[in-house]
Amino acid sequence: MEISDEDVVQAMAAIPGYIDITTSDFKEIYRTAYALALKRMMTSIQAKDIMTRPVQVVQAETSLMETAGLLAEKNISGVPVVDGDHKVIGVVSEKDFIKNMGAGMTGSFMGIIRECLKNKGCVAAPVRAKFTRDIMSHPAVTAREDISISEISALFAARGINRLPIVDGENRLVGIVTRSDLVQSYCLLE
């Protein structure tokens, strides 16, 4: 939101006493202070402040039927894959399913719709008998609880990911930050 000169003049008039500053000086100070405050907040809010827990997970040996069922039931687009010690070994998402559902696919949901409409059989057939380990993305991109939301945003953009499993010092899953969590945290900054 832009502050007008009139806003500044009225604000200065509302303050008792004399203020020796021009409206343009005030606006420059305000913009600089706002930018610094925003930067401070973006570096002070950490994954531990916004992450979701407990986290829905699957194991490498989970069938893709079960994994797809969990994603559908929980209305989520991906989950971390953990081993028996709850250590993150990968991530499986809708993108992984789409990518593995047959040759000639565009890699998009609409590509799957197009193939289904061509009535060439079930496009999920290539993954029907597979397990999560067969299509998961690995190694997973993970981070610790003290990573800032600014760093998470940069990581999402650089790695093209939509979720970030948060791990402890032993690489055990303690939470997850999704794009939705990140957007909500930015809304709190407003």
Tens digit of pLDDT for each residue in 151-166?
Answer: 999 999 999 999 999 9
Instruction: Mark whether 16 and 84 lie in a shared domain.
Output: no
Strand partners, 143: 166
Of 3-17, 74-88, 97-111, 143-157, where does mean pLDDT reach its minimum?
A: 97-111
Peptide linkage before 165 cis (omega within 30 of 0): no
> Radius of gyration (Cα) for the chain, nearest Å?
24
The residue segments making up the domain with residue 13 are 5-44
The alpha carbon torsion through 133, 155, 53, 37 (nearest 10 deg) reads 180
pLDDT at residue 103, rounded to an integer: 46
Assigned domain for 104 exists: no
Instruction: Mark whether 78 and 12 lie in a shared domain.
Output: no
Of 3-7, 14-18, 27-31, 104-108, where does mean pLDDT reach its minimum?
A: 104-108
Q: Helices 23-44 and 179-189 meet at what angle, rounded to 10?
A: 150
Element (H, E) at 74: helix 64-74
Q: What is the 3-state secondary structure (H, E, C) of 97-128?
A: HHHCCCCCCCCCHHHHHHHHHCCCCCCCHHHC
Assigned domain for 166 exists: yes
Assigned domain for 159 exists: yes
Is residue 24 scored above 90 in pLDDT?
Answer: no
For residue range 46-63, list pLDDT tens digits in order. 999 999 999 999 999 999
Q: What CA–CA distance (Å, rounded) separates 148 from 48?
A: 9
Q: Helices 23-44 and 5-14 meet at what angle, rounded to 10?
A: 90
What is the average per-residue pLDDT within 89-109? 79
Q: What CA–CA distance (Å, rounded) separates 146 from 169?
A: 12
Instruction: Mark whether 35 and 73 lie in a shared domain.
Output: no
Of 12-26, 44-58, 110-124, where does mean pLDDT reach its minimum?
A: 110-124
Instruction: Mark whether 10 and 83 lie in a shared domain.
Output: no
Instruction: Mark whether 9 and 81 lie in a shared domain.
Output: no
